[in-house]
Amino acid sequence: MEKLGVELEEEGGCDEEEDAARAMEQAEAGAAVSSPAVPGPAEPGGLPCLVPAGSPSSRVIVHMDLDCFYAQVEMISNPELKGKPLGVQQKYLVVTCNYEARELGVKKLMNVRDAKEKCPQLVLVNGEDLTRYREMSYKVTELLEEFSPLVERLGFDENFVDLTEMVEKRLQQLHSDEISALTVSGHIYNNQSINQHDILHIRLLVGSQIAAEMREAMYNQLGLTGCAGVASNKLLAKLVSGVFKPNQQTVLLPESTQDLIHSLNHLKEMPGIGYKTTKRLEGLGISSVHDLQTFSSKILEKELGISVAQRIQKLSFGEDNSPVTPSGPPQSFSEEDSFKKCSSEVEAKSKIEELLASLLNRVCQDGRKPHTIRLIIRRHSSEKHCSRESRQCPIPSHIIQKLGTGNYDVMTPMVDILMKLFRNMVNVKMPFHLTLLSVCFCNLKALNTAKKGTIDYYLTPSLSTTSRSGKRSFKMKDTHMEDLSKDKETNWDFLPTGRIESTRTGESPLDTISFSKEEDSDEFPLSSLPEE
């Protein structure tokens, strides 16, 4: 059984440090889908409007966000729940609820006791086992990939889709009179009028029709509803997707970009600007988007570094050239459990054994072998943003050979390794109070690519990437502290891509545990948006 951790559907917003730094890193070279300029609809004079299809302004990006995802999955599994106020419970929290419950005052991440007081007729289902949610989530992604190969998972309930190429193909198949008769699907932000002679407007209009087709297919084939935002980049698509909810979609035309950006009440509502960065900006007297737009670039670069300063100022103007990057297969599996208190080594070991057993089952099903193991803890803190710590080490080669074979002789040595990692972080001779434990298998390798008995593997960078488990995925090196937020609705940190890239681990080629530790850097993001 998978445990409640931070993958709270819709609510587990990860407010990581310097998300903006990694957010645009891949986009510096204009990493949008590149394709040659193609004829657009005719201008009034009859000449085609040529706009480079690979230019950032010409892209058509859709952000697809499923409505109360966990609750929808439960209602599909049990149709009798439809129409009733429904909450999905993980431990003592209602991690999400359907709209019937929301109308009666239930909110996401509400304490179960408070939710029942607010809505006595609330039906609660246990959502700690994420298996069905994960499976449905990947069905959604696979369905969207039928429309475009460029689909980037942002969590269990969110995906980015780059429709640029598909839009261009459709435009090439239309005559000018057919183009002039096109209508938008869904809402237009600010009720802005469409200029039929503006190729950018026409592209977004066609994108809205494809988004409607995707939502219709999602409902017909999977029974799921969701919201969509259609815009010229990922940042704007995500911001506009939530304007009309539930089960609706909204198009953002370029002229309304600043209106949308300035509708944000605070910088913390801006995707790509995390908790720590927000605090540092507030220390400079910057609390609104307008403040950031007009603040001295030189001072900002001095305070935050050139890379971070330039990227977050671009974000404040709605500029985001980061590509939609297909997520690909996961390179890590993680299981975690949160609790009110864990204060003994025996109790910690018991929880670690439970998490490890679940991970071993998943490795058997996946067929690949992990080469790194990581343990993550969270200490009790009165602050909303709690710190996590982690240690990792290579898995000894003789244990790797047994992984995935159903041979549970690996349990004892693996638990021993994890407990050494645990004691490396926690002084068990002193009182301690933990509220979360997580075990992660990283650097998954197919059997034919695993280099058994050689030193080569240990001399190359390892991977630490998003898990299909729906667990938080961490952009770590060896050890880090990260800031976590429980409120996704005020911290939409969707950048960078959900697939984490290679990082160096400092792993040892020897079959002994080598602990590695690295201080948190203020210049780079340490994690992606968690799944859910």
Report whether 164 contacts 321 (CB < 8 A).
no
- Rg of the chain, C-alpha, whole Å: 24
In the structure encoding, which two tokens stand for residue 494, read together?
């969707």
H helices, E strands: number in the chain: 17, 19
CA-to-CA dists, residue 385 to 200, 302, 378, angstroms: 41, 26, 11
CA distances from 138 to 134, 143, 254, 481 (A): 6, 8, 32, 30
C-alpha neighbours within 13 Å on the C-beta side of residue 115: 26
Q: Name the catalytic one among 9, 18, 100, 158.
A: 158
Please tell me whether residue 178 adopts helix, strand or coil conformation: helix
What pairs with residue 65 in β-bridges? Answer: 158, 227
Query: Is 10 among the residues known to form the active site?
Result: no
As to burial, measured by CB atoms within 10 angstroms (0-12 exposed, 13-18 middle, 19+ buried), residue 390 is buried
Nearest alpha carbon to residue 52 among 175, 168, 161, 148: 168
Euclidean distance between CA atoms 248 and 265, whole angstroms: 23
- What CA–CA distance (Å, rounded) separates 147 from 158? 16
How many Cβ atoms from other residues are within 10 Å of residue 13's Cβ? 25
Closest residue by Cα to residue 509 from 400, 429, 413? 400
In this structure, what are the phi and psi dihedrals at residue 292, rounded to the nearest 5 degrees?
Answer: -70, -40
Q: What element of type H or E holds 337? A: strand 332-342
Q: To the nearest 10°, the Cα dihedral for 135, 137, 138, 143?
A: 130
Look up tokens 């917003």; give the residue.
13
b/e burial code for range 426-438 (CB count within 10 A of at least 16 → b): beeeeebebbbbb
For residue 135, give the amino acid letter: E
Q: What H or E segment, with its residue span, contains residue 297?
A: helix 297-304
Q: What are the C-alpha distances in Å from 228 to residues 173, 186, 217, 344, 423?
A: 25, 9, 13, 47, 46
Spatial distance between the Cα atoms of 95 and 116, rounded to a whole number of angstroms: 14
What sign does the CA torsion over 148, 152, 337, 4 have? negative
Cα distances (angstroms) measured from residue 11 to each of 361, 465, 492? 28, 21, 10
Strands 482-484 and 386-394: antiparallel
Catalytic residues: 158
